Structures are given as C-alpha cells and as structure tokens.
C-alpha cells in the first residue's frame, strides 16, 4: 500500500480489518475503521478527521466516492459520524456525509446522502439520488430522485441482489489481493 494511502490525523490512523483491500490510490485519513472483507477502490477519499467513520464487514466503497463527517458543535454535540453497516455496496462517485447506513444497502452511482440521514436495512438508493439531511429511509424500499422520494417496495429479486452485490465485490477484492501478493 502506498504510504500516502493511510494518513494519521491527531495521532489516529485508519484500522483495516482482516482480508480487506484498500487501493493504493485511495486516501483514508484519521479515525476510520474498516471491518473484515471490505474493499475500498481507486480514488476513494475518506476523512475521519473531525468525527469517526466506521465501515462494516463485506462492504465495498467504489471508485471516486467521498466519505466524510460533521464536527461536533453546540448545535450538534455528537456531530455526525459516518456509519456504514455490513454487505453495503456504495457505487462509483457517491458522497456520503455524516449519515448512517444499515445492512444490505445498494447506493447507486453518484448518489449523495447528507448529514443525519438514517438508511435502514435492505434499501436501494437509485443512481443520482440526493437525500437531504435528517431523512429516514425505511427498510425494504427503492428511493430515487432529487430530492429523493420513496418509489416503491423492493421486489424479492432486488432484496436478494443486495447480498449478492456485496458477495460479488468480496470475490473481486479477493482476486485483487491474490494478484497483489503474487499468488496468481
């Protein structure tokens, strides 16, 4: 891994879980903890400087995504950390800012999710969707639009795909790890 990939902030450096992959072009700064089997792809920027970032097991953060947080203040004593659950797929060039995502979620390419938003388990967020601050996205639904709207209940096949998508990225990440270790 490139020495610039993991950067300390105030003496705190990112912790990477077992069998996880962080591309050398990604930059992760400060108080970030990655679970096991996580993949962080090219050009991801994560700043756990003024609050913390936590990413669950088997989650993938795709190319060009920005991960950030909101500082603590008198208005918001805890600020807004960024918390991402297990088996989450975050598509290319998303922006996740001080929000909480549950488990088995797909965030479509280019989506923006703002401070204080809570996304429950088993949710699809369509490409380009903008989720304003402090929203709650209910489990089992598709959300689309700018600003986001609850579109419909997920089909069974879509709910099944949420875990499949995460599994596919675990498999791809393992191929990258194998190649980088010279065991191809």
What's 167's domain CATH number?
2.160.10.10
Show the domain range for 143.
Answer: 6-180
Give pTM, 2 decimals: 0.95
Residues 7-19, buried b or exposed e (16+ Cβ, 10 A)?
eeeeeeebebeee
- The DSSP 8-state label assigned to residue 75 in this structure reads S
Number of domains making up the chain: 1
| Residue 183's pLDDT band (cuts 50, 70, 90) | low
Q: What is the mean pLDDT of the chain?
A: 96
Q: Confirm whether 52 is domain-assigned.
A: yes
Q: Confirm whether 33 is domain-assigned.
A: yes
Residues 48-68, buried b or exposed e (16+ Cβ, 10 A)?
bbbbbbbbbbbbbbbbbbbbb
Q: Confirm whether 144 is domain-assigned.
A: yes
| Residue 2's pLDDT band (cuts 50, 70, 90) | confident
**pLDDT (average), residues 34-42:** 98
Instruction: Look at residue 104 and give its three-state secondary structure.
Output: coil
């Amino acid at each position: 891994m490139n020495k610039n990939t993991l950067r300390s902030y105030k003496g705190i450096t990112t912790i990477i879980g077992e069998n996880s992959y962080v591309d050398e072009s990604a930059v992760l700064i400060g108080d970030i903890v990655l679970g096991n089997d996580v993949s962080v792809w090219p050009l991801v920027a994560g700043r756990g400087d003024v609050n913390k970032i936590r990413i669950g097991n088997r989650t993938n953060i795709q190319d060009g995504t920005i991960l950030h947080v909101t500082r603590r203040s008198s208005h918001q004593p805890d600020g807004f950390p960024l918390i991402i659950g297990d088996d989450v797929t975050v598509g290319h060039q998303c922006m996740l800012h001080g929000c909480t995502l549950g488990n088995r979620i797909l965030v479509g390419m280019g989506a923006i999710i703002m401070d204080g938003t809570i996304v429950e388990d088993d949710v699809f967020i369509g490409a380009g969707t903008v989720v304003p601050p402090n929203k709650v996205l209910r489990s089992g639904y598709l959300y689309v639009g700018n600003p986001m709207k609850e579109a419909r209940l997920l089909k069974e096949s879509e709910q099944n795909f949420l875990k499949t998508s995460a599994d596919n990225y675990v498999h791809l990440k393992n191929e990258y790890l194998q190649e980088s270790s010279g065991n191809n």
